[in-house]
Amino acid sequence: MELRHLRYFVAVAREQSFTRAAETMHVAQPALSKQIQHFEEELGLALIERGSRPLRLTEPGRLIFEQALQILERFDDLRETGRRLRLAERNRFRVGFVASTLYGRLPEILRGYRLKRPDVDLTLLELLTLEQIAALKEGRIDVGFGRIEIEDPAIARVLLRNERMIVAVPTAWEAGFSPRPLTLRDLAGRALIVYPKSARPNNADRILALFRDHGVRPPVIHEVRELQTALGLVAAEAGICVVPASVERLRRDGVAYRPLDEDRALIPVIMSYRRDDPSPEIALILQCVREDYDREGIAFGV
């Protein structure tokens, strides 16, 4: 039994004529009559009273007609659901990001993407870099903007830029530092605030390694969950925090930002996506990155 048998039979029952049903279904009448005959043979039932004018259904035919209507309606509903799901999937693009990228060029990049794809539902999810890798592999996001180099054979990575790092210090402490750019040795003896606290490896590991490589051991280390909390502790004079230079755009009472004069005081911005993802949106958002960087005079991949 095939769906076309049901559609042909329903058309004949509704039109009460093989001729009109054939016209409605855009098939030749002999072919339609043959399909109805095969349908009756498969069921082992006579569905139509032959010779009746207008055409009438047998008692079994009326029962089969009601069942056929329900089956076709459910099948059409199923096909429409599939169409809507395909459309929704095609018109949705999900972006994962770490919080600090919002103070850099990411908002402008996403704005450029929206201008190119106004019909796409752009969904944003704040996720740590390690969480982005899992979300990409599980299909929960399509692209991620993170800060940590994480190797995974299923994930492709593009280095967008290496951003300078600066030091967030309590405003009340600023006069106690030299007016020149700070070095890590200038920070010796100061409590250090790092973030985030979980999902290693993360930015906290990078900062701690930077201090360790320069032989500087902070007397106290406060680990907090997020950047905003870290800056709140800086404002409360609980310590200093090393942050990406773009965070300086986030002005906060009680916090001053000072340059950091260390060659390796860099933090990357990395775009990650599924290695086998054929979506053209990946190339498009990368194009938006390049266009934004060109406008701002930012070197790509450096």
- List, for residues 264-275, the tens digit of each pLDDT value: 999 999 999 999
Residues 188 and 140 placed together within one structural domain of the fold? yes
18 touches 55 (CB < 8 A):
yes
Which residue matches tokens 């076309």? Answer: 4
Distances (CA, A) of 192 to 2, 12, 222, 242, 265: 72, 82, 6, 8, 15
Residues 154-158 have a mean pLDDT of 96
Please tell me whether residues 139 and 203 are part of one structural domain.
yes
Whichever domain contains 63, its CATH number is: 1.10.10.10
Domain endpoint, select from 21, 55, 88: 88
> Which pLDDT band holds residue 133 (cuts at 50, 70, 90)?
very high
Q: What does the pLDDT average to over 186-190? A: 94
- Residue 183 gets the label, from left (phi > 0), alpha (psi -120 to 50) or beta, of beta
Same domain, 56 and 74: yes
Out of 66, 88, 110, a domain closes at 88
Residue that is last in its domain, among 48, 70, 88: 88
Query: Do 282 and 134 fall within a single domain?
Result: yes
Q: What average pLDDT does range 101-106 have in this prediction?
A: 94
Inter-residue contact 21 to 32 (CB < 8 Å) = yes
Q: How many domains does the chain have?
A: 2
Residues 165 and 195 in one domain: yes
pLDDT in tens, 244-257: 999 999 888 999 99
Q: Stretch 72-98: mean pLDDT, rounded?
A: 80
The answer on 113 and 29 residing in a single domain is: no
Domain with residue 188: its CATH number is: 3.40.190.290
pLDDT reported for residue 84: 67
- Work out the pLDDT band at 113, boundaries 50, 70, 90: very high
pLDDT at 89: 58
Q: What is the pLDDT of residue 245?
A: 96
Q: Which two tokens stand for residue 95?
A: 């972006």
Q: Are residues 52 and 100 in the same domain?
A: no
Any bridge partners for residue 166, and if so which? 243, 259
Per-position b or e across 125-146, b if 16+ CB within 10 A of its CB: eebbbbbbbebbeeeebbbbbb
Would you state the pLDDT for residue 104? 93
Say if residue 51 is in the same domain as residue 118. Answer: no
Q: Give 197's DSSP letter.
A: -
Rg (CA), the chain: 33
Rounded to whole angstroms, how far apart are CA atoms 210 and 49?
Answer: 89
Q: Would you state the pLDDT for residue 21? A: 85
Whether 146 and 54 share a structural domain = no
User: Are residue 146 and residue 62 in the same domain, yes or no?
Assistant: no
| Confidence (pTM) | 0.69
User: Mean pLDDT across the chain, nearest whole number?
Assistant: 91
Contact, 190 vs 221, CB < 8 A? Answer: no
* Cis status, amide bond into 170, omega within 30 of 0: no
Phi, psi of 269 (to 5 degrees): -115, 120
Are residues 95 and 82 part of one domain?
Answer: no
78 plus 142 within the same structural domain: no
Residue 142: what pLDDT?
A: 96
- Best-predicted range by mean pLDDT among 21-25, 31-35, 235-239? 235-239
The alpha carbon of residue 43 and the mean position of all alpha carbons in its chain are separated, in whole angstroms, by: 50
Give the whole-angstrom CA distance, residue 276 versus residue 52.
Answer: 62
The per-residue pLDDT for 32 is 85
Share of the chain above pLDDT 90, in %: 61
pLDDT surpassing 70 at residue 87: no
Domain span at residue 282 reads: 91-302
Element housing 157 (H / E)? strand 155-170
Query: What pLDDT does 163 receive?
Result: 96
Q: What is the pLDDT of residue 90?
A: 58
- DSSP H helices, 91-161, are 106-116, 129-137
259, β-bridge pairs: 166
